[in-house]
Structures are given as structure tokens and as C-alpha cells.
Structure 1
Amino acid sequence: MTRAAPPAEPWWRGGVCYEVYVRSFADSDGDGIGDLPGVTARLPHLAALGVDAVWLTPFYPSPMVDGGYDVVDYCDVDPLFGTLADVDALVVEAHRLGLRVVCDLVPNHTSDRHPWFQAALAAAPGSAARRRYVFRPVDDDQPDQPPNDWQSAFGGSAWRRVSSPHGGPDEWYLHLFSSEQPDLNWDNPEVPSEFRDIVRWWLDRGVDGLRIDMAHALFKHPDLVDAGPGQHTEFRRNHLMPFFDQAPVHDLYRQWRTMVEGVPGERALIGEVCLFDADRQARYVRPDELHQAFTFELLECDWSAPALRDTIGRTLAAYRRVGALPAWVLNSHDATRTVTRYGGGERGLRRARAAALLMLALPGAAYVYQGEELGLPQVDLPDEALRDPVWERSGRTVRGRDGSRVPIPWTADGGTYGFSPEGADPPWLPQPDGWGVWSVQRQTADPDSTLALYRAAIRLRREFADGLTWWDVGPEVVAFRRGEGFGCAVNLGDRPVPLTGVGRVLLASAPVRPADGALLLPPDTAVWLAPACHDAVGPADSGVDVR
């Protein structure tokens, strides 16, 4: 098999990055909340998984209204999670194990308790302090009418009215998320100047990259024009929204890229770019802009062969035109767990395993959300346990994202399944009974487990050649080849499909068998194939050979 990447290829171009939702990964001190020392202690799991990098969700000082995405200080650590010394220790240990470290950067908004916003509230309308955020005056003729029709991602208007501290006219401020997360005004030079310093501060501290939250949303239309109907349901999809994808953001990332290229080592800027237009998405990874931009269309795509072929083909073509590769995302802390999204139960798990092999076979980078390598399902939490702000803002009609954030199980038994030390406080979100059946401990001992599948796939994908050519196996199968022989085929139909003229099976998401000189691919199953001359080794070798 032709090897894909020359040794000099940057780690971010085709690597696998593992997302750690810090609150729910590992609790070292027994308070029921995951922390940085807990992550450090569990890094050997990620090294054994074979990933190239770990992305840490925000651990900065925060009131935790939105899980830490409401930041008070971008250059410190919330005591819930540890200290700056714990960050340094984590980076050192990760590097010792061959792992890169990516930290989260939240530049679209701050917490309403950030010193900047507190100064803005204390200052008069039109002041320099208020110009750091998006404030607009109240219309005397329509005092209860916000400046425009923009909606918050968490429900309701994206504007909140505040009183003047000096008895003057009230003003509205913009918050595309919670009202405790006021949007910054990126047209004010003071804001990009501050964040350049923040980016450089973290790179100088030794982290290998920054994942930029809502990277496409920083600049707003200068006239704050109405967004029109349907914007809430299409919040993440509609790239034409006047609060998304504005032209000045590209100049900003060109400046950041120049700065980052001047820092020793292979550092990366990674954008959470929630656009569903492949060409507009690809603009963010032109050679002088971001190194990576998440591709969410795979996550959002139906379990359908035509839909997946279209999504993959359009994305690869758009990225190829700018000389880049996608960063594929199948799940995250903001999405329903893949197993549940694909139907739940045994069928959902079969599809999730097949989808994992599909994603890991594609050209480009891949992101794995914690617990996906265990096949965790979404947890149906009781109402009183829900913490996501969307629950309250929606009038308790939208349950939010907490079900995918339940602390993961490390051991088969114990009060918290190894998440916390014995005798600890209950986890911040309750783990369901029997959670240990999905644990790392149990799956490590099972060669057919989802964990074993991920470990084998991540190891093998390093051998793939660049490029992708489609392989016509039938209308219900997504199939392609990489290089001179490696093939991937996924059966999305409801009947087995024979594959003819194939070589040796490297890996399969479910049992496959030969039949009449062909390989019979069951429904909801993915298979990786090598040419007949290639021998697989270890757990990736299924023993099936059709010649």
C-alpha cells in the first residue's frame, strides 16, 4: 500500500484530534467536576488510542452560564479546573507522549462579568468602554423594539436592554448566545489588538494550536440589517445571515496566520466555521488564513448514500481548489451523540461504527469527541439535572446538549465508573445506571469493542495515500479508493451487497464474510480493503481474503 504523507507534512493537515470536554473527562479531586489534572492523568488513554492532538474545551475563569464559553479572563484558569501550573504540566506530559495540545479561544463574546463589560455598563452611552461591544440606542418612538430582528441561538431576541448608569437614555446590547454573553465589537481596533496578545500569550506558553469558537461570526453587517424569517431554525446553516461570514474576518485571520507562522514549531489555528456552503467554508483555509476549519456537513448529513457522496464530493472539491484538506467532524459537545442520532440501540451503534470508519478513511483531518470511541449513547437526563441555558431560554421545551456531556465511564464498576475518586461528590451531571458497560476498562478487554475499532482505524489510516477516487459498487453504497489500492465501502442500504474483485479485509465495523467469490457487505457496515498483495497485522486483520 502506498504511504500517504511524507514525514514533513504538518500534524494538523491529516491528523486525528480528540476533543476533551474538560468538565466531563476525569475528576482528580473528587468534587464531581472534571479538571486539568484529571485530563493529564488520563492522557495515556489518548496515546493508546493513537490520536495526534487533544483539544481542551474552555477552562478559563467563568460563571459557567454556558459551560465556560462565557469567559471572564482569557489568560488564567478557573479554580474548578486547576491552575496555570496544571496547564503547563498537562502540556509537558502531552508532549512527552507525542500529543499536541489545542486550547479553545472564544473571541465572539465575553462573559457579562468580564472587566470590559463591567466597565461598559458603568460608562455612558457612546463611551470608549461601550464601543468594545455592540451597543445601540433605544428608539424613543418604539422603546421596546430591539434594533433589529436577530435571534439568539439559545432562543428569543439577541438584544437586551440596559439602563444608563447616569440617568441618560437606555441602550441595547447584542448577544447571539445567552444574554450573559455579550458580543464584542470587532470593528473596534482595541478588540483585535487584545486578542492578538491573547493568541500570542498561549502560543508562547507552549500550546500547539487554538480552536477558534464561532470563527465565522466575529464581524457583523455594519448596518445591522434584519435577518428575516426562519433564522432561528437555520441559525447554524444559513451562511447568508448578516451576523455570519462577513468579509473583514478574512483579513483578521491573515494577520493571525502571519503572527503564528513567526512562532517556532508547527502551531495551528483551527476554526469552528459553521457554514453549509463548501466554497465559502473553504475560503477560511486558503494558504494565508486558518490552518483548519471544521466541516460540519458530515455530522449533519442524513444516513443516505446519495447525501453522503454529495457532501464528501462537494467538500473535497471546494477544499482542493484552495489547496487544503477538510477537518471532518462526526460529533461534538454541541451535538446529539452519534449512536442516538443514527437511531439508537443496536442499529444506532452499527451505524456509528460504520460512520467512524467512513470519516477516518477520508482525506484530511478528523475530530473525535470524547466517548465516541466508546460508542456512548445520548443520556436522557431528568429535567432537574439539565444545565444547558437553552433549556430555560426555550421555556423548557428544548432539552439542550447536556445529554452528550455526561461524564464518561472509565471503569466497569464504582460509584462514578472511575470518573472521580471513590467517595467523591456526585458528578455534575448524573451518570445512568449500567454506564460501566461502555467503560474504557471493559472495552479494552474486548477485541471486538468500539474502542478496539477506533484504535485499529487510527493506526491504519496513517498508511493511506492522498487523493480519493469514487468506486461504483451500487446506489446504496458509499465507496472510494485512496491511492493504489486501499478501498473503503459503506453499505447504507437494508440488504447485503456483494463486493467483487477486492483483496484483503483490513478492518470492518461488523462481521463480513465471503460468498460466491465476493465479499458480502451487510447493511450499516463499513469495510476497509487492501490490495491482495497487502497483509494486515494485529487486530485490524479480520482474516477474510477474497481473491
Structure 2
Amino acid sequence: MTAPTRREWWRDAVVYQVYVRSFADADGDGVGDLPGITSRLPHLRDLGVDAVWLTPFYTSPQHDHGYDVADYRDVDPRFGTLADADALVARARELDLKVIVDLVPNHTSNEHVWFQQALAAEPGSPERARYLFRTGRDGGESPPNNWMSVFGGHAWTRVEGSDQWYLHLFDSTQPDLDWTNPEVGDMFEEVLRFWLDRGVDGFRVDVAHGLIKAEGLRDQVVTPAEQERRDLAEAGGLDEDGSMIDPPDLADEPMWDQPGVHEVYRRWNAVLAEYPGHRMAVAEAWARTPDAVAAYVRPDELNQAFNFAWLLSPWEAASFAEVVTTTLTAVEAVGGAPTWVLSNHDVNRHVTRYGGGAQGLARARAATLVSLALPGSAYLYQGEELGLEEVDVAPEHRQDPSWFRTGKVGRDGCRVPIPWSGQEPPFGFGPGTEQPWIPQPADWAGLTVEAQDDDPASTLTFYRAALAARRELVHDLPTTATATAVGDVLVVRRGGLTAVLNCGAEPAALAEVLGVGADAVPEAVVGTAPVTDGLLPGDAAVWLREV
């Protein structure tokens, strides 16, 4: 008789994202590094997570803080050496932590040897065929099409002294690869194997939806209304609330989520299957519908995709219920496992998004508790276990390339190095006494790991308790759940566990919400606020267990 197959670890893992530059600094230069991360891995074990995801630490000129890779098979000296990477993986294994590394396949750095060869070669050469070089319009004076960069401005840069332009959907230092060229696919298979052979457990795939572009690189269709808003954004116009206008998301997207991208991941799936231990890959795929996202996690493709609909949901029970229902329906249809994420290195921290201050923190804890009750994996972002908010980084300290291209506040505010100990910056981030690469607020002393460690009311204590409850209760529950909104209250039922989230301002009677008698309300296991006389306070959540 065949032995039963062990359930894949990633299907219900809690994964902690480490932004390498901002987690821990071992050498005192103000920038986080691999030895610093290794030294702090016990914090993650004690927190109760299952895996750590590391943002890029490869050789890079750091124009986009590692997402512009010059060598995919080496470590940037700022962060350490290959020996340091091996030591990190080995220490994680000792602590029973999986390791996921970032993979950046849509583009390379302009300092990658391939791109340098392309610039030195002639138009039409094999070297240029690895990227998307095209002849400009108007005799080479204008870009080949009307595509715009995610970071602002045109998505094309002209090769000096030439009528040729190259595509970069992000910064001009990040030229897009041409994934229709077999050399590109072969190179990335080698990269996958390089890191799998070194023992990593998986990959987070950057811009997973962007590798294949529409054939012919046709113009993007822009409606008059979309063009008007795009022009306003380019001119620095203000919205009705006084905020700067962002470029609109256009309905026509010839550069994103093209059908051919799935062939890439079928090849990767076969590579991962060759290695033991359920190696995995999770997609950063900004697709328009739950079904489109689920297409990336079909059985022969990637294993997971980030659920950005959960992150983008407003603070409304009905909206949360809709996201849960549509997500679970979509992934169930392909046999996939959902993910739940509230913050990462590209978005404002969810404490701030939910209002900031005490209210934002209460809501953030409550949303986290619901995330941990849902089927699938939860992805946490470093510092959220400390209740960190978005930081208003002074202009002179901003380093996000989108800031330099548009003049708009970018992602620096969620990337400020996290505080570990002490009463003043750098709060134990490194052995030095100077501020780190992005300065920390002076009032973070009460938010350090040291300050929160033994405080029963701290956010850190809450996260540890919630993750402990998850380990005890959730893994044996069904992989399906239902979510309904009862007024301002979200009710998630998953087997014998019920998670209740009160999005309203007034206390909610649990018996009324659940439709049971007051003496039939299940036992409260863990919550973000006390349940008194059967009332769940506003902006709070609780887990109830049938006994």
C-alpha cells in the first residue's frame, strides 16, 4: 500500500517577509544584511511563523533596492557573501523555518552583463534580442508605443545616438527581458536550480504577471477620460481630498497578464517538482479578477499568488466577506491554496491605512486575527508584529525611484528599519550609533521588541498569542470556509471555529450576530479586545470555538 503523501507545508504556512535592508545590520554600516538577519531568526521562531521570505540580496547597483539585479547567482557585498546566505539557510533549518527568496524575472539591472552586451551590439543582434529594443517613431524621435512606466513617465528610454529605444515598465535602470527568447527561459532555469541546490524552499516571483507582452507591442488603448486623468497625474494635479492624483489603472493592459506567461510557470513547476520537500513559488500577480489570479496557481503552474484584493479592501464587513467568498471560490476551482496579506514593502502599512493611531492599530490587529483564521497561508510584513505605522520620511531621505521620477511620496515610509531595543535611534538595528539608511522616528522607544517583549498588552504579545492559537486550532480545520456580513460584522465559519470581526463603532451582541441564544455562544479562544456580557467591541475581532 502506498504511504499517504504529507500535506505541502506552504498550503497553511505563516510567512514573514524580511526587507533585507531594514531588518538587522550586523556590520554597523546602517544597512541590513544577511548576518544580521541570521542573528535575529530566533525572534521569528519565537513569534511563531513557519517561513521567512527575503527580498533580493543579489548583486545590484541598488537603484531599486535590489529589484534591479546585476547577478542572480551571487550576493551583493552590502549584504554579505554566498557563505552568509548558506549560513542563513542552515540556521533557519535548525530553527525549523523555511526560506523563500525573491526572484526578479521581468527585468534585470542595466548593469547586468547581458544588457551591457546589448548596448554594445548592433540593432537586430542576438545580444539585443534578449531585451525589448525597438525603433522609435517619428524617425526615432518618439517612443515606439505609448506605454507608461509604473514609476511614472514613459516606459521607454532612447539609446544615445540611436533611433533605438528599450522598454522598462519600471525604472530606466531596469530593462525588461524578452521572454519569447529561449535564452531568457534557460537562464532563469539555471537560477532556480542554483538556489534550490543551495537549499532554499521556495521563490517569491516579482511582477509575475508581466513577463509576456502583447505581440507586436501595440499601443495601449486609452479612453478620453483615462487620458484626462493621466494628464492631470503627470502635471501633479490634486484630487478632491487634496491628495495628488495617481495615474489611472487603464482597462486595456497589453503589458500585463498575457496568456503566454503561464507557459513560463509550467516549466518552473516541473523544475520545482524535481526537488524534495515540497519546494514552492508564490506569485506577485496583479490581475483584475480572482479567477485571473487563480490561473497562476493551477496544478501545473505556481503554488500560490498574493491576494491583493484582501489588502485593498476597505474597512467594511460586506467588502471583506465578498473578498473571502470570491477568493475561496476561485482557488477551489483550480485546487489551489489562498493567501492573505495586509502589508508588504510596496504599500502603506495597514495600521496607517486603517486610520492610524489607536483606531488604526485596533483595526490592524483585528484584521490580522481574521486573516489567521482563514484557509490558506498568511503573509506578514516585518514590523507589523510591533504595530508600526507608515513613517513620513523627509524628502531629503527618500530613496524610492518612483519619488525621483514623479515627485510623489513613494514606498520609503514602510521600509524604515525596524526597532529592536534601546531608547533612541538606531534602536538596536545595528552596532553603530548613527541613524540607519532611512532614519527612524525618535519616538519609537515604546515600539521596540525589547519594550514589547514582556508587555501583556503589546502588539508583539498579541501576535505571539494569535499565532500560537493558529498552530493549535487551525491546521486540522477544513480548507473551506464561509464568510457573511451581518450589518457591520463579518462572520467567518470554518468547521468548529468562528471568527467574528466588528467593523462598526458600537459593540455587537455575539448571540444576535450568530443567531443563537446567549448561552449558546461558543467559547472565546483569542481576541483583540475583551468580550464582556457577550458584546464584542467595535474595531475588534475574536475567535470562538465550539466545545
Which TM-score applies when normalising by structure 2? 0.91
SS at match of 2:281: strand
- Quick one: which of 505, 509, 520 aligns to 1:498? 509
**Contact 1:480 1:488 (C-alpha < 8 Å) held by counterparts:** yes
**Aligned match of 1:114:** 112
For the pair 1:404 / 2:397, whether they are aligned, the reply is no
Deviations 1:356-398 (A, max 9, x none): 111111110010000011110111111100000111100x2x1
Name the SS for the 2:396 alignment partner.
helix
Query: What secondary structure, in the 3-state scheme, does the structure 2 residue paired with 1:255 have?
Result: helix
One-letter amino acid matched to 2:141: D
Cα distance in 2 between the residues matched to 1:283 and 1:12: 18
1:236 and 1:51 map into 2 onto residues whose CA distance is: 37
1:329 partnered with 2:341: yes
Residue number in structure 2 paired with 1:174: 167
Does the 8 Å CA contact 2:221/2:252 hold for their aligned counterparts?
Answer: no
Distance 2:246 2:330 in 1: 22
Task: List per-residue Cα deviations over 1:321-377 (Å, max 9, x = no partner).
Answer: 001121211110001011111111111111111111111111100100000111101
Determine if contact 1:237/1:275 at 8 Å carries over to the other structure: no
Distance 2:206 2:525 in 1: 37
1:135-158 residue CA offsets vs partner (Å, 9 max, x unmatched): 00123x353321111110100000
Equivalent in the alignment of 2:398:
386
For the 8 Å contact 2:315–2:503, the answer to whether it is kept is yes
State whether structure 2 residue 220 is matched by structure 1 residue 205: no
Q: Does 1:247 align with 2:259?
A: yes
* Aligned counterpart, 1:266: 278
Q: Deviations over 1:458-479 (max 9, x none)?
A: 1222322124443657221111
**Secondary structure of residue in 1 paired with 2:53:** strand
Distance 1:200 1:471, change over 3 A: closer
Separation of aligned partners in 2, 1:523 and 1:467: 28
Question: How far did residue 197 of structure 1 move?
Answer: 0.5
Within 5 Å, which residues of 2 pair with 1:84-95? 84-95=82-93
2:299 to 284, 287, 290: 287
User: Is the 8 Å Cα contact of residues 412 and 437 (structure 1) preserved in structure 2?
Assistant: no
- Is 1:363 the counterpart of 2:372? The answer is no
2:482 aligned partner, one-letter code:
W
Distance 1:453 1:276 in 2: 34
> Cα distance 1:107–1:259, how it changes in 2: closer, same or farther (>3 A)?
same
What is the CA–CA distance in structure 2 between the aligned matches of 1:522 and 1:21, rounded to whole Å?
Answer: 34
Q: Confirm whether residue 305 of structure 1 aligns to residue 317 of structure 2.
A: yes
**Which one of the candidate residues 410, 413, 420 is aligned to 2:423?**
413
Q: Cα deviations across residues 478-516 of structure 1 (Å, max 9, x unaligned)?
A: 111111x211000111211101131211111122212xx
Question: Residue in 1 aligned with 2:221?
Answer: 228
Alpha-carbon distance change, 410 to 193 in structure 1, aligned in 2, over 3 angstroms = same
Equivalent residue in structure 2 for 1:157, among 128, 135, 154 = 154
Partner in structure 2 of residue 530 of structure 1: 545
The match for 2:532 among 490, 513, 523 is: 513
CA contact (8 A) 2:324 2:483 kept: no
Shift of residue 426, structure 1, vs aligned partner? 2.5
Given the alignment, which residue of 351, 356, 362 partners 1:339?
351
Secondary structure of the residue aligned to 1:432 is coil
Cα shift readout 1:257-300 (whole Å, capped 9, x = no counterpart): 01110112221111111113100100100111101111111111
Given that 1:236 and 1:274 are in contact with CA atoms closer than 8 Å, whether structure 2 keeps it comes out as no
The letter for the 2-side match of 1:525 is A
Code of the aligned partner of 2:448: S
Matched pairs, number: 514
Q: Match for residue 486 of structure 2?
A: 474
- Cα pair distance change 1:235/1:84, threshold 3 Å: farther
Check conservation: 1:512, 1:520, Cα contact below 8 A: yes
Give 2:516's aligned residue: none
Give the Cα separation in 2 of the matches to 1:186 and 1:472: 43
Letter of the aligned partner of 1:65 in structure 2? H
Contact 1:236–1:275 under 8 Å retained in 2: no
Give the secondary structure class of the aligned counterpart of 1:479: strand
> Is there any run of 5+ residues in structure 1 with no aligned partner, and where?
1-5, 534-547
How far apart are 1:240 and its partner, in Å?
A: 4.8
Is the 1:15–1:364 contact (alpha carbons within 8 Å) kept by the matching residues of 2? Answer: yes
Please say if residues 321 and 484 of structure 2, whose CA atoms lie closer than 8 Å, have aligned partners that are also in contact.
no
Q: 1:154 corresponds to which letter in structure 2?
A: F
CA contact 1:153–1:176 (8 Å) conserved in 2: yes
Contact 1:276/1:297 (<8 A) preserved = no
Equivalent residue number for residue 498 of structure 2: 487
The 8 Å contact of residues 321 and 483 in structure 2, kept in 1 or not, is answered as no
Does the alignment pair 1:428 with 2:437? yes
Question: Is the CA contact 1:379–1:404 (under 8 Å) kept in the aligned structure 2?
Answer: yes
Task: Give SS of 1:418's match.
Answer: coil
Deviations 1:223-244 (A, max 9, x none): 2122233497898966851111
State the Cα deviation string for residues 208-231 of structure 1 (Å, max 9, x = none).
111110011001001212223349
Q: Measured at CA, do residues 489 and 104 of structure 1 come closer, stay the same or move farther in structure 2, by a change above 3 Å?
A: same
Alignment CA distance shift 1:336-1:290 (3 Å): same
Unaligned segments of structure 2, at least 5 residues: 231-244, 512-519
Give the SS at the match of 1:513: coil
Taking a change above 3 Å as real, the CA distance of residues 24 and 434 of structure 1, as seen in their structure-2 partners, is same
Q: Which amino acid aligns with 2:423?
A: D
Residue number in structure 1 paired with 2:450: 441
CA distance in 2, matches of 1:235, 1:456: 41
CA pair 67-239 structure 1, distance change in 2 beyond 3 A: farther
Corresponding residue for residue 544 of structure 1: none
Partner of 1:74: 72
Q: Which of 181, 185, 196 is the matching residue for 1:192? A: 185
| Offset of residue 412 of structure 1 | 3.8
| Distance across 2 between alignment mates of 1:44 and 1:10 | 24
Cα distance change on mapping 1:472 and 1:297 into 2, 3 Å: closer
The CA distance in 2 between the partners of 1:42 and 1:26, in whole Å, is 7
* 1:102-141 equivalences in 2 (<5 Å): 102-139=100-137, 141=138
Q: Is the 8 A contact 2:157 2:167 kept in 1?
A: yes
